[in-house]
Amino acid sequence: MPIKIALPKGRLLAETATLLRRADWGLGSYHEAARLYRLKSARFPQLSAKVFHERDIPIQVAIGNYDLGICGLDWVEELLAKYPSSALVKVKNLGYGGGVLYLVGSKSEGASSVEKIRARPGVICIASEYPNLAESLALYLRLKQFSIFPLWGGADVYPPESADLALITGKTGQKSFDYDLVSVSNVRSYSTFLIANKGSWETKDLSELLGSIEDGLPLSEKHPPSSEVARVPVAARHPFSNQAVEDTVRLALPDGHQQEPTVSLLNGAGIWVEDYPSPTGNRRPAVNLDGVVVKVIRPQDMPLQVANGNFDLAITGKDWVREHLYQFPSSPVVELLNLKFGRVKIVAVVSQDLPVSDIYSLRQFSSEQLRPLRVASEYVNIADKFARDNHLGMYRIIPTWGASEAFLPEDADLLIENTQTGRTIAKHNLKIIDTIGQSSACLIGNISVACSSRKKARIDSIIKALRVTVGDS
Amino acid sequence: MVQRCKGFRDLSPEEMIRFRFIEQVSRDCCLKWGCLEVKTPTLEYLHLFTSTGTLTPGMLGKAYSFLDWDGWSGQRVVLRPDGTIPVARFYIDNMVEKGLAKLFYVTNIFRFEETGKEARERWQGGVELIGVNSPLADVELIIMALGVLTSIGIKDVELRLSHAGLIRGLLSKLGLSPQEQARIFDQILDGDTEALARIKSEKPKLGKALTSLLGLKGKSSGILKNLKALFNHSLPELEPHIDNFINIVDLLETAGYRYQIDITSGRGFEYYTGIISQLFVGAEKVGGGGRYDALIPLMGGGDIPASGFALYFDSLMDLVKPAMLSRPLTQRILIKAEPEVVRHGFDIARHLHEAGYVAELQLEGQEPADLRWILEVRSKAPLFVLTDRLKHKTFGIKTASEVLKLLGEGDADKDSIA
């Protein structure tokens, strides 16, 4: 009987690879340098493995695409917090990759205890990559009125200006955090877990695999702890809030691969940002403009933050603006300027092996299936609208967190993805059946926020300088 | 592949007859007690339910909460998980200047249940009596609820009484921190019947008092009076709650109602501060209610006391027998109109509807089934032929008014043509 396991890439890859090497699985290509997603075991011929972003693994195991998975318990609990009846079994604590989820707030804002937070008037905002756990925590703490900002990353840079609290990961016993943050509550500890699909656990004989993992465990536990995370030097922390708030323009710049073209654009407009991109991960770099402060956050998170008035301007992608507006049509976010770099197409993709060439044949294919069409995407709202508008009948959206092309054909039937050249899609034996839209970097703002004439002049000045640089006069 | 959502139910025509019967009887009874009917929206903001700080995290964790299309600020909405709080919100929004209000509602509430085997959508009808705090008001509500059940035809209803003020007063005497008190109260409300017993063993000095109070069960106010005499000195803080409890059960006894005192039962009554009543038929809980004086103040509506009850329609529907249902007032008539006179068929249908009959045109393939009357509309005389399938008689009739007259005479023995 074939057995499928979902393995993590990223932070858990090295220690998981060590464990499975001790267990003698013979997954030769499962190491950090390899870029293979599909693996076979030399020792267990019936076993196939696939490499995922850690956050995807509980979902993949719960929906039955995989019998087993290895990932952090934090992501398992994040899924169970919202979907407690998920078909998941927590099989074994593997002991490594541990940490603690902390609720943190700004020390300077006096967010040092739950009581102090609870006593604050108005809405308490919590930013986190773990929005479901954050909501459960808010209910548990009996916060009277709260908002959760779901994030793709960088939650620790949000308090105090962009959120009251952040739910973030840290080390066991950690006392101090970057950006003047302090622990309000030690929420839960976690480590790496072996998980199983409930149906597989009840019906399949997994004993040989489990036994081999047991054999590998004692040695893996002796694995030295991972090195300290590089801390942002105090000197590099630019005080985002210690300026005249009323007139200060708050600018969000992207992290990740859009940093280099963003720097070129800004420099072309005479804007110089110190320590950006930052080798130490500094998310509060200094800028050479008076009355302007900068934070570096994920482009995916920017539209929601601009909508909530936490930033006045942000450089993100049109794709993420579209994703945001499909979810929240009444959002006050508007595109101010097309920045013309980072051009990609948003496309609908299927496997080359599927007898589908366009949306019409996809609809036909979908109607002939006994199970719902599985649509994988990082853009869950764009994907949902695409499926709705094209009458795909019964479908299920599978959210992904990167390397989405590896989902086809085993774990999804359709992928909504962005592509620059189409080469990655072709390399994975996939084909484009529809182009949903074009995207490029853009500058966004909030139409409903009133501001002083001085601040407006500063915003207009930045827009004007960028407009000249991109040749959009 | 067509299927309904897990944990949700359809109501069939037969079930809807029982549902409407319960709804109609409830409405009639409550309107006669001076209630006004209200309806509140299915969607409410989540903070309406979190802001009071009274609902347990366990209960709120089962609310269907999500971000709607206006949710970019992170403001979550919920499918109404509770019947009382939206009515209290309505009162604060619209009626707070009017003082006393007696509001009746029939509504569905939504709570997630993990297995999907239990209902995630439930129906209930209830009354909220807002703006008055007196034992008389509490007793009126209990009698109103019992009256509805009697009118529906349900017998052997058991009334169980507890008192949230007494439980809270007891917890405050245990020397626990406010957080710990809240935690234990949450456990009791979430149905953990062992929660109080566990504390009891940790606080041996209070063992005697707790054993007496926790084991409190009886069928008259005498037992409460005995306890008051016993603990008046050691637990004087409990006296107002015991007095309130005694007043209420004395009134119930005076009015001739029987009850059972069971102090530890409190599940599902998060925001209650005084009397708690629960209505059982056998093991089935069919309703409950109580006093919640802190809720409207916590919602920012001012210092306004309130109490209420709800009857659980899903449980009641299982108890309603066909014999309890009112007989339909109308007679059903099937009209067979020949194609060339179909217009006359619609005309006579209108006349029949106006006269209070249920009348429908025969559709292709429709059999008379259990209909008593069949009315043929013809293009030649006699223009109408009425058949009484019960008495196997057929009448030839010339005009629509004669049809109505004959039906009005019911099954009078007329000369038939067959």
Residue, of A473 and B123, whose pLDDT is higher: B123
| A140–B57 CB contact, under 8 Å | yes
Judge whether A99-189 and A344-439 match in fold.
Answer: yes
Q: Are A269 and A469 in contact (CB under 8 A)?
A: yes
pLDDT at B330 over 80: no
Residue of A88, A136, A141, A147 for testing the chain B interface, max B β-carbons within 10 Å:
A147
Residue of A nearest to B178 (CA): A115
| pLDDT score for B179 | 67
Interval B42-76: pLDDT, tens: 999 998 988 877 777 778 888 999 888 888 888 88
For residue B183, give the chain A residue with the closest CA.
Answer: A140
- The yes-or-no verdict on residue A123 having pLDDT over 50 is yes
Q: What is the mean pLDDT of chain A?
A: 89
Percent of chain A with pLDDT over 90: 69
Average pLDDT over residues B204-227: 71
Q: Which residue did the predictor score with more confidence, A447 or B270? A: A447
- Confirm or reject contact between B3 and chain A (CB < 8 A): no
Peptide bond before B382: cis, by omega within 30 degrees of 0? Answer: yes
The residue among B212 and B275 whose pLDDT is bigger is B275
B53 part of contact set with chain A, CB < 8 Å: yes
- CATH fold, domain A344-439, is D-Maltodextrin-Binding Protein; domain 2 (3.40.190)
Beta-strand ranges (E) seen in A318-387 are 333-338, 344-351, 373-377
Whether A330 sits inside 8 A of B69 (CB atoms) is: yes
Q: Whole-prediction pTM value?
A: 0.81
Greater confidence (A402 vs A368) lies with A368
> Could A139 and B57 be called an inter-chain contact, meaning their C-beta atoms sit closer than 8 Å?
yes
**pLDDT of res. A151:** 94
Interface check for A144 against chain B (CB to CB < 8 A): the answer is yes
Contact call for residues B27 and B37 (beta carbons, < 8 A):
yes
pLDDT in tens, A328-383: 998 999 999 999 999 999 999 999 999 999 999 999 998 888 888 999 999 999 99
> What is the structure's pLDDT at B313?
97
Q: Are B384 and B375 in contact (CB under 8 A)?
A: yes
- Does A149 contact B at CB distance below 8 Å? yes
CA A72 centroid distance within chain: 15
A320 in B contact zone (CB under 8 Å):
no
What are chain B's domains? 13-324 (3.30.930.10), 332-408 (3.40.50.800)
- For the domain A3-94+191-221, what is the CATH code? 3.40.190.10
Q: In the prediction, which pLDDT does B189 show?
A: 61
* CA nearest to B298 within chain A: A144
Q: Which tops the pLDDT comparison, A23 or B194?
A: A23
Name the residue among A143, A328, A394 with its Cβ closest to that of B50: A143
CA A70 – CA A13 distance, rounded (Å) = 10
Q: Indicate the pLDDT class of residue A148, thresholds 50, 70 and 90.
A: very high
Give the chain B residue whose CA is nearest to the CA of A137: B57
Cβ within 8 Å, pair B47-A84 = no
Q: At A120, is the secondary structure helix, strand, or coil?
A: coil
Average pLDDT over residues A278-292: 92
Cross-strand partners of B394:
B387
Does B67 sit within 8 Å of A139, measured CB to CB?
A: no
CATH annotation of A99-189: 3.40.190.10
Indicate whether this complex's ipTM tops 0.95: no
pLDDT tens digit sequence for A404-420: 888 999 899 999 999 99
CB pairs under 8 A between A and B: 66
Average pLDDT in the A49-54 region?
92
Q: pLDDT tens digits for B170-189? A: 777 777 776 677 777 767 66
Render pLDDT for A296-337 as a digit per residue (tens, 0 to 9): 999 999 999 999 999 999 999 999 999 999 999 989 999 999
Residues on chain B touching A330 (C-beta within 8 angstroms)? 69-70, 72
Q: Which CATH superfamily is domain A234-343+441-470 in?
A: Periplasmic binding protein-like II (3.40.190.10)
| Interface residue B300 vs chain A (CB under 8 A) | no
Per cent of chain A over pLDDT 70 is 94
Is A328 within 8 Å of B47 when comparing Cβ atoms?
Answer: no
* Mean pLDDT computed over A77-81: 93
CB neighbours (10 Å) of residue B361? Answer: 16
pLDDT tens for B240-289 read: 999 999 999 999 999 999 999 887 666 656 788 999 999 999 999 999 99
Residues of A in contact with B116 (CB under 8 A): 85
Average pLDDT, chain B: 86
* Cβ–Cβ below 8 Å for A147 and B116: no
- Closest Cα of chain B to A82: distance in Å? 9
On the question of pLDDT at A170 being above 60, the answer is yes
Model confidence at A194: pLDDT above 70: yes
Between chains, do A328 and B72 touch, taking CB under 8 Å as contact? Answer: yes
pLDDT digits (tens, 9 = 90+) for A265-282: 999 999 999 999 999 889
The C-alpha angle B305, B310, B311, rounded to 5 degrees, equals: 160
Q: What are the b/e assignments for B222-248, b being 16+ CB within 10 Å?
A: ebbeebbeebeeebeebeebbebbbbb
pLDDT in tens, B86-110: 999 999 999 999 999 999 999 999 9
Chain B partners within 8 Å of A329 (Cβ): 69
Output the CA torsion sign for B210, B214, B216, B221. Answer: positive
Spans of all domains in chain A: 3-94+191-221, 99-189, 234-343+441-470, 344-439
The answer to whether A328 contacts B70, with C-beta atoms less than 8 Å apart, is yes
